[in-house]
Amino acid sequence: MVSTTLAATSFSLLRNYNANVRAFAANVRAPLQHSTNYNSINFLLPLHSRRSLSRVSVTNDEEAAAKAAALNAGSEAPTIFDKIIAKEIPSSIVYEDEKVLAFRDINPQAPVHVLIIPKFRDGLTTLAKAEARHGDILGHLLCASKIVAEKEGILDGFRVVINNGPGACQSVYHLHLHVLGGRQLKWPPG
Amino acid sequence: MVSTTLAATSFSLLRNYNANVRAFAANVRAPLQHSTNYNSINFLLPLHSRRSLSRVSVTNDEEAAAKAAALNAGSEAPTIFDKIIAKEIPSSIVYEDEKVLAFRDINPQAPVHVLIIPKFRDGLTTLAKAEARHGDILGHLLCASKIVAEKEGILDGFRVVINNGPGACQSVYHLHLHVLGGRQLKWPPG
């Protein structure tokens, strides 16, 4: 489904390479992607970064990257998701409305693997920041996960996952729901 | 944390043994549990059931049990969660308000493993049944997951999981969120 290089690429690592991406993207006009996979970010990475990414395992990537990302967890700084929302970085969009955006994970863990994010983060760097006032957007995100599952044809078998903090492999500090399906999902869930 | 027998017991299997449980429970007065684990249901199971449960692996249990449970997925029949909500079956309650109940999973997959359910199912046998009108309760459930994580001391590392259908190991057809933490959670999430 994805190349070896892509399989080792995660949003978290991309976050760490943000400065490189910015510098590189300024000089590159990304072609429009017709693939169903969200695979444009890799194109934006300098070759040396792609090579270094491909040398580590995905699992260790996620844990290590989550730990690295957590160093700035308290920050309200923009993340790579802001660029995706702004369409400054192309993504394979599955669903969109005025409140949320759903797009394919660049490092899919199942035949269907979609991320759903609120367009306005509103302090929700992570679910741990949720307050009663966030009830509406949180409910909307879960309703969106059903819509995404329906669109992807996995309504009879899908899992929604929300990671919070390094202990759960959260690698981007903008709340996001993972929607996975298209294969038998195992137990325990990680 | 749990006995071997308990480790092989799942809500889904209990659902399948519902008739036995009902017949047995009518003749047994379950003692009040002071343990922090939700382990009273096993006490209600006939010995032959407990033995058969202990012979299969947990992973296969979950997949097989989910497939069995799915045979009645379209049904609006009560589940074991209704008995837990009604306090007819004791549980280790972590949090409760007028809308939701959170209690420890009888078959924990992490040091902290709590289930959160809506007290009024309102058609939500599974997340796939979600409609816009369910937004409030869905948002409330996610807010409750943050409260549970806070109470359990895992706010800096927890994962929320919602299984939908047999492909995702859903074994009780009453919407429920799993909140897991207290250890490094892996990737992929099952």
Residue B45 to residues A142, B107, B167, B169, Cα–Cα distance (Å): 35, 15, 27, 22
Distance CA A63, CA A73 (A): 15
Does any domain span residue A19? no
Whether residue A7 lies inside any domain: the answer is no
Look at residue B43 in the predicted model and tell me its pLDDT: 32
**CATH number of the domain to which A174 belongs:** 3.30.428.10
Domain assignment present for B54: no
pLDDT on residue A62? 83
Q: Which of A100, A116, A172, A185 should we substitute to test contact with B (largest number of B Cβ atoms within 10 Å)?
A: A185
Per-residue pLDDT tens, chain B, 190 aa: give them: 333 333 333 443 344 333 333 333 332 223 223 233 333 343 333 333 333 333 335 566 888 889 888 887 878 899 999 999 999 999 999 999 999 999 999 999 999 999 999 999 999 999 999 999 999 999 999 999 999 999 999 999 999 999 999 999 999 999 999 999 999 999 999 9
- Residue B153 DSSP symbol: T
Walk across the sheet containing B177-181 and list its strands: A93-96, A100-104, A112-118, A177-181, A158-164, B158-164, B177-181, B112-118, B100-104, B93-96
The β-bridge partners of A118 are: A100
Count of domains observed in chain B: 1
Report the SS3 class of residue A109: coil
Contact B62 A190 (CB under 8 A): no
Which amino acid is present at B182?
Answer: G
Nearest-CA neighbor of A94 among A116, A74, A78? A116
Give the whole-number percent of chain A exceeding pLDDT 70. Answer: 68
Taking contacts as CB-CB distances below 8 angstroms, the residues of chain B near A154 are 167
Closest-CA residue of A relative to B166 is A157
A136–B149 C-beta distance less than 8 A? no
Do β-strands B158-164 and A93-96 pair in parallel, antiparallel, or remain unpaired? unpaired
Q: Indicate if B176 belongs to the active site.
A: yes
ipTM attached to this prediction:
0.75
In a domain, A48, yes or no: no
Q: Is residue A18 part of a domain?
A: no
Which of B62, B129, B155 has its CB closest to that of A187?
Answer: B62
Q: What is the C-alpha separation between B10 and A98, in angstroms, rounded?
A: 40
Q: How far, CA to CA in Å, does A19 sit from each of A32, A71, B32?
A: 23, 16, 59
Enter the pTM of the model: 0.75
Q: Which chain B residues touch A59 with a CB distance below 8 Å?
A: 186-187
- Domain for residue B166, yes or no? yes
Nearest alpha carbon to residue B110 among B161, B146, B70: B161
**Distance between CA B160 and CA A160 in Å, rounded?**
8
Q: What is the largest CA-CA distance in chain A?
A: 45
Question: B177 - beta bridge partners?
Answer: B116
Cβ contacts of A107 on chain B, cutoff 8 Å: none
Structural domain for B86, as ranges: 62-181
Task: Give the ranges where A17-169 is alpha helix by DSSP (H).
Answer: 18-25, 40-44, 47-53, 58-70, 80-85, 135-152
125-144 in chain B: CB under 8 A from chain A: 127-132, 134-143
* C-beta of residue B100 within 8 angstroms of C-beta of residue B136: no
Tokens 């080792």 belong to A8
Amino acid present at A130:
A
Taking CB atoms and an 8 Å limit, are B140 and A143 in contact across chains? no
B163 lies within 8 A of chain A by CB = yes
Inside any domain, residue B29 = no
Tell me which of A112 and B3 has the higher pLDDT: A112
Kindly report the average pLDDT of chain A as a whole number.
77
Report how far residue A128's alpha carbon sits from residue A41's, in angstroms, rounded to the nearest whole number: 28
- Whether A56 is covered by a domain: the verdict is no
Task: Please report the residues numbered 37 through 66 in chain B whose beta carbons come closer than 8 angstroms to any beta carbon of chain A.
Answer: 58-59, 62-63
Report CB contact under 8 Å: A161, B166.
no
List chain A residues with CB under 8 Å of B107.
Answer: none
